[in-house]
Amino acid sequence: MRTLVFTVPSEYQDRKVLHYLRGCAGLSSRIIRNLKTYDDGILRNGEPVRTIDRLCAGDVLTVNLPDDPAEQLPPMPDPPFLEGELPEVLFEDEDLLIVNKPGTMAVHPSHNHQGDTLANWITFHRAQEGRDPVMFRAVGRLDKGTSGVVVCALNAYAADRLQRGVEKEYLAVPSARLEGGGTIDAPIFRPDPIITLRVVDERGDRAVTHWEALETFEDRTLCRVWLETGRTHQIRVHFASIGAPLVGDTLYGTPSEEIARHALHCARAELTHPVTGERILVEAPLPQDLSDLLKR
């Protein structure tokens, strides 16, 4: 159980507990409804309190976030999975786990990936540290073939506070010689709900990708990429739409003998800690397969 403690400021004098929890504390309606089902979910100065009760400046509100339901906890990974390349921990505390994910690893369990995902690894990692398992809450997912920074919230409060609050920067290798930089502002549409393929189409949702060429080669370019929107496959679709699909992207381009995945890496993430307010910056170095790709 994660416990959060807040001291009520003077501007919330004589206001309802609910107003403070929704406003200053930033708890969602869903979390508050859940807390109200527990006798010790919300305490004022150590005693149970109703959300309609009035506050005094200096009151101490304690919020006890319940443990995640057992049926929502990812299982331990398959033993062979632990023999492969595993994530590197970049930051960890009671509320966040930020890792550098290998490009070969899926993030979420699915029909094809039951015991070999980042979610399974986190269950293993926490068991190794003597900690309880948690429900998997990735804040902005990466495709299986994309390596780099993944931010995981370890409780519902942290997940709510982080939505759309993570600034990411990517390194990509499009299969064309590109100069300078630019912006791709083109809507992305999913023509068939059964398959994952996306296309640039006016029927889609607005998507904006910014890019800057860092290093140019005869048939490829190392680009820094940052997004205004977060559509599925956005970087891959947008570069393919300008005739420069990422090297190794078998869905939007062609297979490559030089790399076994699409050449995309989340190199940097910056965020405000959901509880402490601390500004956090993490970086993941270019992985070996992408580094080798730029030497050829």
Q: Which residues are catalytic?
A: 143
Q: Closest Cα to residue 253, out of 239, 267, 234?
A: 239
> Which residues have C-beta within 8 Å of that of residue 195, sequence separation ≥ 6?
none
Distance from C-alpha of 254 to C-alpha of 243, rounded to nearest angstrom: 12
- The answer to whether 151 touches 158, Cβ cutoff 8 Å, is no
- The answer to whether 106 touches 144, Cβ cutoff 8 Å, is yes
Residue 287 main-chain phi, psi, to 5 deg = -70, 165
Distance from C-alpha of 100 to C-alpha of 104, rounded to nearest angstrom: 12
Q: Closest Cα to residue 173, out of 295, 254, 255, 262?
A: 262
DSSP state of 203: T
Distance from C-alpha of 150 to C-alpha of 138, rounded to nearest angstrom: 7
**CB burial string 41-71: b at 16+ within 10 A, e below:** bbbbeeeebebeeebeeebebbbbbbebeee
Beta bridge partners of 208: 185
